[in-house]
Structure 1
């Protein structure tokens, strides 16, 4: 019974019916050329034969799930695969909008803590000779980078390769787990004892970094400090219902804009979101005079850690310059902020980055979720915007071509919208997840993202 990491435990402690804490992924596939009329049904029946589940996806909270289970992991040794793996179908005509509506409903339901914390839905009936999969895993089990590594491990760059096991199936060479509570405690104490000198240095270093970043934020008119974001229609209590929207843009379009200005691909993503949010909030007569602030996760996962599980993320606050009407000025401002922040973080250890995230974003965010806090303090930030690197080459799952991979993430209390982006095979795949009640007409943001990018192209690209 291994001890749960504090970052993992936080996602269980903070979960309620109004606040599901799982992440998901929507993958669109083109059927192989030799697919028969019952291709998806046959695929579903084949998937149910993979009963040897990898250890990471056997994890569930220890009993009782609402107390001890928030501190310790145990293994579900009797996985009911027909519960976790499901088959669904879209009604005719099988439009993408119908698929997104189905994913919206699936993403709003809680995972059962008495079972391993994941579900997989195979979806038939999508127009264009396509099918889809929707996978959700509790955020206490994986972060976004680990989730992408899991996906990558179930695919091949060769369309002729068959026999690839599904995401939950145990891979050859995995070692069985041994040990229980006593071993987990011993390992925790041993690791903690060895880490004390480094931890002292980390604490000393993070205080100076926080002071320097705060000083720079003050010089930028305090927009990058906790509790300085403007209150908007996005910063309200949320419900458990979800709405999901998704679309893709060619990476080359974003890269060309970034190169023209000297900005990174992620800077352009943030600028697209800033322009889209300006339009969306103005449409609802809710555009504030001060800049919106995004919490931008940064990975501190060790190289090669892959899908080992757990959460290895830090967090920085980035003003989106949404108060500026000039799209190029917004991009330049975002680039300057992120460049300065990255320079500061480059001198810190992974532990220090996580500690800084706690002081800048996570602890203030926990204060924001307290009942009534939205009427007392300003928002810590307005929304999450995350960019997770994905595979660069076209991938295939047993001959079916992956044509789109869209992240489905978590809105939080007082942050009713989450925008997560992943790169795949020359595309930037945007996934927008919002509270169903608090973020009306979420799909309109997709059109505004295109308008925002086109606006930048018009200003910075020379014919």
Structure 2
């Protein structure tokens, strides 16, 4: 079966190169159930290999044209070689989380084979504490990061005694929900939506920008993160108790996401100071936010906008940084709340449209960065989840970095924790794991400042 590739999806295929892999990933950590023997992972692997590939997206690859791979059509394989796509690996001794993240970094930096459906899943054993890990990657032309996380959530159960194995390629598609527009899809429709902007909306937005209450694209300072990148990656991951973050939120009368952004701001400031590379002006983060109105429910459809948030990295005081972030996010949300959803999405798309130009030769070197970093908070499970009786201990999103955007931080909720997944260009962002220590120190500073 053959179908044409939509322009937004084709962007991810056309822009992909050895230096710019265009897949999203996820690293999950599981604690096996009591009594699980040494063959626990092997038995899961065998059962997974026997699961049919029902979901069409997992049979999908670029078609051929004139004897070569093209970015014009999709082709659906009738048979999928699960022995290739589903892999079982073991960590070298001593099997620490460090070795797991080293393996994840290598896997996340590798290109997917375009002659096969564009996905892989790796079962990883050999952790010294007895846990197992699952690393999954899917090309962004097939599915976006939020949809990928939701699909992986559907493989889990709230029942710790459930013994059925659910795999993403065997779960039937939910046609009524659909995929939802990707980042590139929102950017593609920006001009069309902009043409419908009401004069009052433009006036309100212009006033907010002129008064410096909202950050403008290309108003971010140059930083060591906004450079051309290589193809190798570093990945880091850690969890923080949601209770600690909520305590700061309540004490400061801000949102959970404000506290997350303040943790990231503190970590980025400390990291840049270590490298004698802290800009005099604040870093700007692109932050996806929900535009769904209270009570709108599923009927309102997909409603995700983007805010350019001033992170306050130029401010030494953690409390002042948190107030700056909260004010920046509140102003962006207030502006969006006064717009119809179509207009808010159009303005958001214009904010991120420069990402589509990042691979144009000379663009990054000749322009200021539209923003310095993308920081996303993806909704996850609020209760403990299990997979074949194994408890999900960590769920770390691993996103894409681009020319001019060498670092990405994505956060998701997992029962009582917030799980941080950090991805960076190996060449441009050295000692990436130090950001985890700086995140912890940033939270501790906020706790002290709001005590």
Could you tell me the TM-score, scaled by structure 1's length?
0.87
1:453 matched to 2:443: yes
Judge conservation of contact 2:48–2:165 (CA < 8 Å) in 1. no
Q: 1:349 to 1:109 in 2, by over 3 A?
A: farther
Judge conservation of contact 1:244–1:434 (CA < 8 Å) in 2. yes
Deviates more, 1:322-331 or 1:17-26: 322-331
- Specify the alignment match of 2:211 in structure 1: 219
- Specify the alignment match of 2:355 in structure 1: 365
**1-side partners of 2:82 and 2:291: how far apart?**
33
Local SS of the residue matching 1:63: strand
- Specify the alignment match of 2:370 in structure 1: 380
**1-side partners of 2:202 and 2:3: how far apart?**
33
**1-side partners of 2:262 and 2:247: how far apart?**
14
**2-side partners of 1:60 and 1:206: how far apart?**
41
**1-side partners of 2:66 and 2:374: how far apart?**
28
**2-side partners of 1:313 and 1:63: how far apart?**
34
**1-side partners of 2:66 and 2:316: how far apart?**
50
Judge conservation of contact 2:47–2:165 (CA < 8 Å) in 1. no
Local SS of the residue matching 1:70: strand
Local SS of the residue matching 1:244: strand
Local SS of the residue matching 1:429: strand
1:444 matched to 2:434: yes
**2-side partners of 1:172 and 1:323: how far apart?**
46
**2-side partners of 1:162 and 1:85: how far apart?**
20
- Specify the alignment match of 1:33 in structure 2: 34
Q: Number of residues paired by the alignment?
A: 434
Could you tell me the TM-score, scaled by structure 2's length?
0.89
Unaligned runs of 5+ residues in structure 1 are 176-195
Local SS of the residue matching 2:75: strand
1:420 matched to 2:410: yes
- Specify the alignment match of 1:189 in structure 2: none
- Specify the alignment match of 2:311 in structure 1: 320
2:346 corresponds to which of 355, 371, 375: 355
Judge conservation of contact 2:227–2:365 (CA < 8 Å) in 1. no
Any idea what the Cα deviations from partners look like across 1:361-393, whole Å, max 9, x if unmatched?
A: 22x233343222233211111111010010001
Judge conservation of contact 1:65–1:113 (CA < 8 Å) in 2. no
Any idea what the Cα deviations from partners look like across 1:242-292, whole Å, max 9, x if unmatched?
A: 000010101111111111122111111111101110000011000010010
Unaligned runs of 5+ residues in structure 2 are 177-188
- Specify the alignment match of 1:142 in structure 2: 143
2:393 corresponds to which of 403, 417, 433: 403
**1-side partners of 2:278 and 2:6: how far apart?**
39
Alignment of 1:50-449 (within 5 A): 50-64=51-65, 69-171=70-172, 203-205=195-197, 209=201, 212-220=204-212, 224-299=215-290, 304=298, 313-362=304-353, 364-449=354-439
**1-side partners of 2:9 and 2:198: how far apart?**
22
User: How much has 1:207 moved relative to structure 2?
Assistant: 7.2
